[in-house]
Amino acid sequence: MDLFKRGKIGDVKLKNRIIMAPMGTKPEANGSYSDHSITYFEERAKGGAGLIITGANIVSTKYEARPENELSEFHNVEKLAVMIERCHHYGAKVFVQLTPGLGRMVYADPYTPPYSASDTAHSFWFPNLKCRALTIEDIQFLEERMAYSAGLAKAAGADGVEIHGYGGYLIDQFNSSLWNQRKDQYGGSLENRLRFSTEIIAKIKETCGSEFPVSMKFTAYHGIKGGRELDKGVKMAQIYEAAGVDALHVDVGCYEVWYKAITTVYEKPMHQIFAAKAVKQAVNIPVITQGKLNNPKDAEQVLEDGNADFVGLAHQMLADPYWPAKVKAGNFDRIVPCIGCNECLLSGFNGKHYYCTVNPLCYAEKDYQLTPAKTTKKILVIGGGPGGMEAAITAARRGYQVELWEKTTRLGGNMYVAGYPAFKRDVMKFVKYLEREVSRQDINVRYDTVATEDKVLAGHFDKVILATGAKSKTPHIAGIENASQAEDYLVERKTPGQHVVVIGGGLVGCETALDMSAQSDDVTIVEMLDDILLTADHSKNNDLSLRDHLTAAGVKIMTGAKIKTITDSSITLSVAGKDTTLPCDTAIIAAGYSSVDDLEGPLADKVDLTVVGDAEKPRKIIDAVHEAYHAIRVMA
């Protein structure tokens, strides 16, 4: 496979063409790499990545608070050096990504204007805040700090550095006429707008030597009105090559269309390749690409077609650090798939470390390891959804005797329903992965088995995991018998007509409407609240993507609307005190869920019982998987 051919960036030899793309990590209080971060990177090196690119390290906090790690002082070198050394033990090389700042993307507070290329730019997170323009002295200070920090990275043993010049962050704000309205030598022509980054390149080369590789990660195409078009991105690549960079890491998008940059479940595989291909055709230095290359066949195809020299994997490396090793061994079916939920991002923006839905050990690689069972115990898992399958697999891996009771004829629970639409197949891949792991383990799966108190007690189990999930709610609306639950349509038990009304604008309602839009010409979401997705606790890029997909599909949205009656051909609703009747031959209910916890009360004081996932409270896949894993992990 081309994926495992050796490669080079500058004079640095890489054992394969697989790169762990940059993602942020949570630092120590002084900005240095934490022990958890070190172990996290070490695990990805152990998993077979040829090159690891760290998340952004800010070079100075003079203009903004540290976003993640900091590499501005000599004391930051020690922990970075430990991390690099441990990655080197496994043959992985390490590039340290450096940033002068986030600019208008700073998520600080609604009162402090962030710095940017121009004072015409506005804060992304707080649009009423007008940015402050960096002076020429400020720019030159940051250039010097970038070079100094590159020297610190080299002192720590880094194999190279990557310049953080993409995604609408500070350097990209200088690069783009959308945000850069300067009249001096750092504004105007494309060459002038790129002066900040080309001077950084020159200063790094002067400080670290020409043999020390510098990669430039830049955005070749923004995908927003007034943003960068691809022809300008190709011209930028040529300017960067002339400036002396050793590799180009091609990105797409910005925060306004965040899902183009950081993919979600809704994006198609290989969605950034068009940009890398255009750049590759225009330059003579290595090109790194990314963008949902989780399928090894897709990643291999990119290289075979000559559209890039290296492939970058980000969130997939959170889900499964051993993706490279498993691909090399041909064990494609053992790869834990990323499901595009972006719980990693959401947790980071909530101030936590970066959790992964499908990998409970992410960022806790040493803390949450399983230990062999000390004594033989009988474990019963009730329910075959994500929580139930995870509990059963984890128990079997520890060496317990495991039974899994599922009341239907298949595993997956509500996750099977969620993963059924074509645009949610990443979720279905996780269902199939868990099914395969259940079949590989010594687990006695009993289908068509309804658990009762008597049956459970008769089994004399040492531990019972209640993972019975949740059921769809039915609202009290006149004529509700003329409507059906969303799951009936999502799994194609029922076929929609041409006039579809989805009752509820939460996540399930919006995804159902999008799925129905492929089959029906007239689809409307009716939501009581003032906007859709207000109850969806998900990352902003997922939110942006789903909203844009709904718009592109022509789905109508009515908010602040209360349904009064439903007939077999219409729905009457009240909006701002006025009644409106919509034609409707298909009314679909997406009004939320309630826990299936009937057994909790009868069993609570009679067995060692743990309730996980939606059976405890309707929430998300991450809650079910993690609660199930830890319920078994902590057993004595």
pLDDT in tens, 118-173: 999 999 999 999 999 999 999 999 999 999 999 999 999 999 999 999 999 999 99
The predicted structure's pLDDT at residue 349:
87
The predicted structure's pLDDT at residue 56:
97
Q: pLDDT tens-digit profile of 611-624?
A: 999 999 999 999 99
Averaged pLDDT, 168-190: 98
Does the domain at 378-472+594-633 match CATH 3.90.550.10? Answer given as no
Q: pLDDT tens-digit profile of 511-565?
A: 999 999 999 999 999 999 999 999 999 999 999 999 999 999 999 999 999 999 9
The position carrying tokens 């289908």 is 447
Distances (CA, A) of 529 to 151, 533, 575: 54, 9, 11
pTM over 0.85: yes
The predicted structure's pLDDT at residue 107:
82
The predicted structure's pLDDT at residue 503:
98
Nearest of 217, 77, 214, 234 to residue 156 by alpha carbon: 77
Fold of 2-102+139-165+213-349: TIM Barrel (3.20.20)
Q: pLDDT tens-digit profile of 4-38?
A: 999 999 999 999 999 999 999 999 999 999 999 99
| Both tokens assigned to 49 | 């990545």
Count other C-beta atoms under 10 Å from residue 527's C-beta. Answer: 24
Q: pLDDT tens-digit profile of 422-440?
A: 999 999 999 999 999 999 9
Fold of 480-591: FAD/NAD(P)-binding domain (3.50.50)
Q: Is the pLDDT of residue 196 over 80?
A: yes
Nearest of 217, 64, 62 to residue 131 by alpha carbon: 64
For residues 20 and 52, the answer to whether their CB atoms sit within 8 Å is yes
Of residues 166, 169, 420, 593, which has the active-site annotation?
169
CA–CA gap between residue 615 and residue 631 (Å, rounded): 14
393 exposure class (CB count in 10 Å sphere: 0-12, 13-18, 19+): buried
pLDDT band at 216 (very low <50, low <70, confident <90, very high): very high
CA–CA gap between residue 275 and residue 250 (Å, rounded): 7
Q: pLDDT tens-digit profile of 403-415?
A: 999 999 999 999 9
For residues 311 and 19, the answer to whether their CB atoms sit within 8 Å is yes
Distances (CA, A) of 500 to 475, 497, 528, 538: 18, 7, 17, 26
The predicted structure's pLDDT at residue 618:
97
The predicted structure's pLDDT at residue 208:
98
Q: pLDDT tens-digit profile of 265-275?
A: 999 999 999 99
Nearest of 261, 323, 11 to residue 124 by alpha carbon: 261
Q: Where are the CATH 3.50.50.60 domain residues in the chain? A: 480-591
Averaged pLDDT, 181-195: 98
The predicted structure's pLDDT at residue 41:
98
398: Cβ–Cβ under 8 A, 6 or more apart, which residues?
Answer: 370, 371, 372, 373, 632, 633, 635
Beta partners for residue 583, in sequence order: 570
The predicted structure's pLDDT at residue 292:
97
Q: Is the pLDDT of residue 109 over 90?
A: no
The position carrying tokens 């990504």 is 97
For residues 52 and 41, the answer to whether their CB atoms sit within 8 Å is yes
pLDDT band at 276 (very low <50, low <70, confident <90, very high): very high
| Both tokens assigned to 587 | 């009314």
Q: Where are the CATH 3.40.50.720 domain residues in the chain? A: 378-472+594-633
Q: Indicate the length of the chain as a whole number.
A: 636
pLDDT band at 351 (very low <50, low <70, confident <90, very high): confident
Q: Where are the CATH 3.20.20.70 domain residues in the chain? A: 2-102+139-165+213-349
CA–CA gap between residue 171 and residue 103 (Å, rounded): 8
For residues 360 and 446, the answer to whether their CB atoms sit within 8 Å is no
pLDDT band at 246 (very low <50, low <70, confident <90, very high): very high
601 exposure class (CB count in 10 Å sphere: 0-12, 13-18, 19+): exposed
DSSP 25: -
427: Cβ–Cβ under 8 A, 6 or more apart, which residues?
Answer: 265, 339, 340, 415, 418, 419, 621
Percentage above 70 pLDDT, the chain: 100
Q: pLDDT tens-digit profile of 200-212?
A: 999 999 999 999 9
Averaged pLDDT, 394-398: 98
The predicted structure's pLDDT at residue 513:
98
169 is catalytic: yes
* Distance between first and last Cα of the chain: 44
Q: Where are the alpha helices (DSSP H) in 185-229?
A: 190-193, 195-208
